[in-house]
Each structure stands twice: as structure tokens, then as C-alpha cells.
């Protein structure tokens, strides 16, 4: 088995494991948030909040009816696809070179909110988010968890534009740089 295929399979297995962990943690976070929100609604301010935010209460009821398990799976897959797509474009056009030295914390601080916004825009119609703000808030945690595995996949498996053009050149050393890169 070639090294590239083995690397692809290893990264795919890691991505599946991270997606499972992300889904499980997101389910727990949503149930915990529901518990805290229930406590808040029992305070003296709770009925006032319900009366002043009927659209938000409708959205929360629809999300609860959807089931946190299904919601978490949808959020995880959507953020995975969004992160992978954006980072693939960044890698192709040499931007990943500037993202890599930031480290995990720097990348998280810099890119999680913009990537969450893109993931929120990509959420399917089946998710009753109620508005862009709620969809963005729902996608922050899965984006935080899935961002680094997506960056690793893109950084290790995808070429940049100059490497692609080198593959299609006719001279003898055209593929040496790409194949011996990692």
C-alpha cells in the first residue's frame, strides 16, 4: 500500500473519530444548555423572557423537537464540510502557509467565528435555526472541535497550485517535488 493511501486512510479514520467525539460532546452540551435554560425559565424573570421572545421560544421548541442527536449529527457534518472546503481553497492558493505557524490556539482564535458563520449559512433547511444568529451560535462548538482535523487533512493531503502545475509539466522532475513533499 502506498504511503499516500495509508495517510489518507489514517486521516479519514481520525476524522471519523473526531466527528463522533464532536457529536457526542455537542449532544451533551445541548442537553446541559437545555437544563440551564429550564432553570432560568423557573426564575422570576423567566415568564417575562418567554413573553418578550416568542420567536426564540418557538425556535428552541423546534430544535428540541428535532432531537439533539439529529441536530448534532447535522451540525458536525455541516461544519466538517465547510471547514474542509474553505481550508482546501486556502491550501490551493498558498494561504495555508500562513495559517500553519499560528498553532492550534492561534488558529482557533482567528478562524473559528468566520468558519462558524460559513457553516451557519450552509445549514440545511431541515434545521429550524430560526435565524442566522442562532445557526451561527449552534455551529461554533462543532467548528471548534472539527477545525484542526480538517486543517490536518488539507495540509497533509492536498497540493498547492504550483504543485499541481508541476504535475502537468513535461520535464522529468515535474512530479518529484509533489511526491517527495511529505
What DSSP letter does each residue of 51-82 carry, written as one string? HH-HHHHHHHHHHHHH-HHHHHHHHHHHHHHH
pLDDT (tens digit, 9 = 90+) per residue, 53-111?
A: 999 899 899 889 889 999 999 999 999 999 999 999 988 888 777 777 777 788 778 88
Domain count, the chain: 1
Confidence of residue 182 (pLDDT cuts 50, 70, 90): very low
Q: How far apart are CA 158 and CA 144, in angstroms?
A: 22
> What do you get for the CA distance between the two ends of the chain, in Å?
16
Predicted model pTM: 0.81
pLDDT at 24: 97
Q: How does DSSP classify residue 160?
A: P
Answer whether residue 177 shows pLDDT above 60.
Answer: no
Round to whole Å and give the CA distance between 153 and 146: 11
Q: What is the mean pLDDT of the chain?
A: 86
Burial grade of 141 (CB within 10 A; 0-12, 13-18, 19 or more): buried
For 155, the 3-state DSSP assignment is helix
Q: Please report the pLDDT score of residue 18 as a whole number.
A: 96
- Angstrom distance (rounded) from CA 137 to CA 153: 25
What pLDDT was estimated at residue 31? 95
Q: Are 166 and 178 within 8 A, CB to CB?
A: yes
Percent over 70 (pLDDT), the chain: 92
Do residues 83 and 158 touch, judged by C-beta distance below 8 A?
no
Range of the domain at 67: 3-179
CA 153 to CA 157: how far, in whole Å?
6
The predicted structure's pLDDT at residue 1: 63
pLDDT at 16 over 50: yes
* 48 or 179: which leads in pLDDT: 48
The answer to whether the beta carbons of residues 97 and 124 sit under 8 Å apart is no
Report the pLDDT value the prediction gives residue 172, as an integer from 0 to 100: 54
Q: Say how many CA atoms lie within 13 Å of 82 toward its Cβ.
A: 29
Higher pLDDT, 126 or 45: 45
Distance CA 55, CA 53 (A): 6
Amino acid at each position: 500500500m502506498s504511503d499516500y493511501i495509508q495517510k489518507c486512510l489514517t486521516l479519514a479514520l481520525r476524522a471519523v473519530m473526531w466527528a463522533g467525539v464532536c457529536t457526542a460532546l455537542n449532544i451533551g452540551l445541548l442537553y446541559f444548555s437545555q437544563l440551564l435554560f429550564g432553570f432560568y425559565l423557573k426564575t422570576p424573570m423567566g415568564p417575562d423572557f418567554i413573553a418578550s421572545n416568542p420567536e426564540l421560544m418557538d425556535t428552541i421548541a423546534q430544535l428540541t423537537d428535532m432531537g439533539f442527536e439529529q441536530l448534532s449529527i447535522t451540525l458536525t457534518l455541516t461544519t466538517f464540510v465547510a471547514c474542509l472546503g474553505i481550508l482546501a481553497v486556502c491550501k490551493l492558493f498558498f494561504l495555508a502557509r500562513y495559517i500553519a505557524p499560528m498553532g492550534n490556539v492561534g488558529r482557533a482564535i482567528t478562524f473559528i467565528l468566520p468558519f462558524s458563520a460559513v457553516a451557519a449559512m450552509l445549514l440545511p433547511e431541515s434545521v429550524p435555526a430560526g435565524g442566522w444568529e442562532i445557526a451561527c451560535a449552534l455551529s461554533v462548538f462543532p467548528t471548534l472541535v472539527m477545525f484542526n482535523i480538517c486543517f490536518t487533512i488539507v495540509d497533509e493531503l492536498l497540493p498547492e497550485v504550483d504543485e499541481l502545475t508541476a504535475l502537468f509539466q513535461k520535464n522529468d522532475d515535474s512530479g518529484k517535488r509533489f511526491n517527495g513533499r511529505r
